């Protein structure tokens, strides 16, 4: 009797594959949510397009080339410069901190429609405080190495 109870209460962990347990669950949950979105949103939208009630949002609309290509350029520069600046200050997270500040500032300014003193001040404060807070929490409180 005792061996049956102890076998129910014993846990064996395969350390070679245990790190894949939660990512596998997350992948299946995300796949299920994606399928749910397809069924509830995309399929009815495509049916309305086929009936002629709606049009595809991409076809025939003007594109803001400056913002589109500016965003692509800023994203590429962000990841490249994060490594470059991070190598100047190794194991401090300053690459993340300084480049994120510049990235948020430039992205916000690029998408801002009206440049007033108040909105620019808010953008600058946000560009300094948000990455600074993230850097402080991740690098200093949790000791997570940032680039």
The answer to the question of residue 146 being in a domain is: no
- 60-74 b/e (C-beta count within 10 Å ≥ 16 → b): eeeeeeeeeeeeeeb
Query: Per the structure, how many domains does the chain have?
Result: 2
| Residue 130 structural domain | 65-141
Res 60: pLDDT: 65
Q: Give the pLDDT confidence of 14-68 residue by residue, as tens digits.
A: 777 777 788 889 999 999 999 999 999 999 998 998 898 888 777 666 778 899 9
Number of Cβ within a 10 Å radius of residue 93: 21
Burial (Cβ within 10 Å: 0-12, 13-18, ≥19) of residue 51: exposed
Q: 80-102 pLDDT, tens per residue?
A: 999 999 899 888 889 999 999 99
Residue 43 DSSP symbol: H
pLDDT of residue 23: 86
Residue 93, Cα to own-chain centre: how many angstroms?
18
Per-residue pLDDT tens for 108-139? 999 999 999 999 999 999 999 999 999 999 88
Same-domain status, 16 and 44: yes
The rounded distance, in Å, linking the Cα atoms of 146 and 59 is 41
pLDDT at 37: 95
């Amino acid at each position: 009797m005792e061996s049956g109870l102890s076998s129910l209460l014993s846990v064996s962990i395969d350390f070679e594959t245990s790190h894949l347990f939660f990512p596998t669950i997350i992948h299946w949950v995300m796949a299920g949510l994606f399928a749910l979105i397809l069924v509830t949103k995309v399929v009815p939208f495509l049916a309305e397009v086929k009936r002629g009630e709606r049009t595809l949002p991409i076809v025939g609309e003007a594109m803001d080339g400056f913002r589109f290509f500016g965003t692509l350029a800023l994203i590429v520069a962000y990841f490249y410069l994060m490594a470059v600046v991070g190598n100047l200050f190794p194991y401090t997270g300053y690459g993340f901190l300084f480049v994120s500040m510049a990235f948020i500032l430039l992205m916000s300014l690029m998408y801002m429609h009206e440049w007033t003193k108040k909105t620019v001040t808010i953008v600058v404060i946000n560009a300094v405080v948000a990455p600074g807070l993230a850097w402080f929490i991740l690098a200093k409180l949790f000791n997570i190495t940032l680039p």
